[in-house]
Chain A
Amino acid sequence: MRRPRPKRRREPTIALINIVFLMLVFFLVAGTLSRPLDGDLDLVRTADLEGALPPDTLVVHPDGRMTYRGETIGGVDAFLAQRSDEERKTVRLVPDRALPASDLVRLARELRGAGAESVMVVTQRALE
C-alpha cells in the first residue's frame, strides 16, 4: 500500500515578485541617489528652507579638516583649482554642525578671496 505523498505546495513566486517589485518602486521613487558624505559628519539642521540637490562638494569637519569625496584637501586654493569656472562662481560648503562659526566665516572669506562669488552653506532639512 502506498503512502500518500505529502502534498508539495508550490512556492508563491508571483506574490513574492509583486512584493519585491513594490519595494523596488518605492525606493526608486522616494530615495535620492547620491554620493555618500563622510560617515561621522553631523550636518547643520534647518527648517523653512527650500530643498537643494544632494551636495557633492567640500566637507568641513568639526576640527577644521576639509575633505572632498573622502580625500583630505589641504586648502581652499587646492579645492578651487579642480573646479570648473561654473562651479567656482558658487561654492557650496558642508560644515559639521559643531564647527566653530569663526572657522566657517574664515573659510568663506578665503573662498571669496580666491574668486568665489557666493558661498552657500549646505544644511540638512529637518523632517516636518
Chain B
Amino acid sequence: MTSLIDIIFLLLLFFMLSSTFSRFAEVELAAATGGRSAEPSDTRPTFLRLAEDEVSLNGQTYTLSELPEAFANLREEDDDALPVLVSLQDEVTSQRLTDLLVALRPVQGLRVTVLGS
C-alpha cells in the first residue's frame, strides 16, 4: 500500500513541477522586405503612425479600439485589399506593436506592412 502512494506521489510531483498553465497565442507579423517592389495597385495606401501613447491614421489621431471603425469609413469599395503602411516611433515596444496587430486583425481586407527603421 505504501509503495502505491509513493508512486502516485512521485507522479503528482512530476506533473506539478513540469506543467505550465500559461496559454499561448500567435499573430502574424508582416514586415516589409527590402528590394522587392510591391505589385502595382490603384488603391492608395494608408499611413499609420504608431507611437507609444497614440495612433495616427493618415494624420488623424485615434485610439486602438477606434481603428476598425476608422478603416470601415476609409474603405468605399470591397474588392481591393487596402495597403496599410505602419511606421514605428522610436520608443514603441513589441507589446504595443502586437496590440496594434491584434486590433487590426478583425478588419477585413487590409494588407498590413510594418516598415522598419
Question: Which residues from chain A sit less than 8 Å from chain B, CB to CB?
Answer: 13, 16-17, 20-21, 23-24, 27-28, 30-34, 36, 43-55, 92-93, 95-102, 104-106, 108-109, 112-113, 118-125
Contact = CB atoms under 8 A, between A and B. Distances in A.
Contacts of B32: 109
A31 B18 CA distance: 9
A24 B11 CA distance: 7
B70 interface: no
Contacts of B115: 105
B62 interface: no
B58 interface: no
Q: Which one of A50, A93, A108, A118 has the highest number of Cβ atoms from chain B below 10 Å of its Cβ? A: A108
B28 A17 contact: no
Given A27-B16, A121-B28, 10 more contacts: A17-B5, A20-B12, A43-B22, A45-B95, A49-B105, A99-B94, A108-B31, A119-B31, A124-B22, A125-B24
Contacts of B31: 105-106, 108-109, 112, 119
B94 to A, nearest CB: 4
A122 B94 contact: no
Contact of A51 (B25, B98, B105, B116): B25
Contacts of B34: 109, 113
B19 A97 contact: no
B93 A98 contact: yes
Given A33-B18, A102-B92, A118 B24 contact: no
A122 B4 CA distance: 41
A81 B35 CA distance: 23
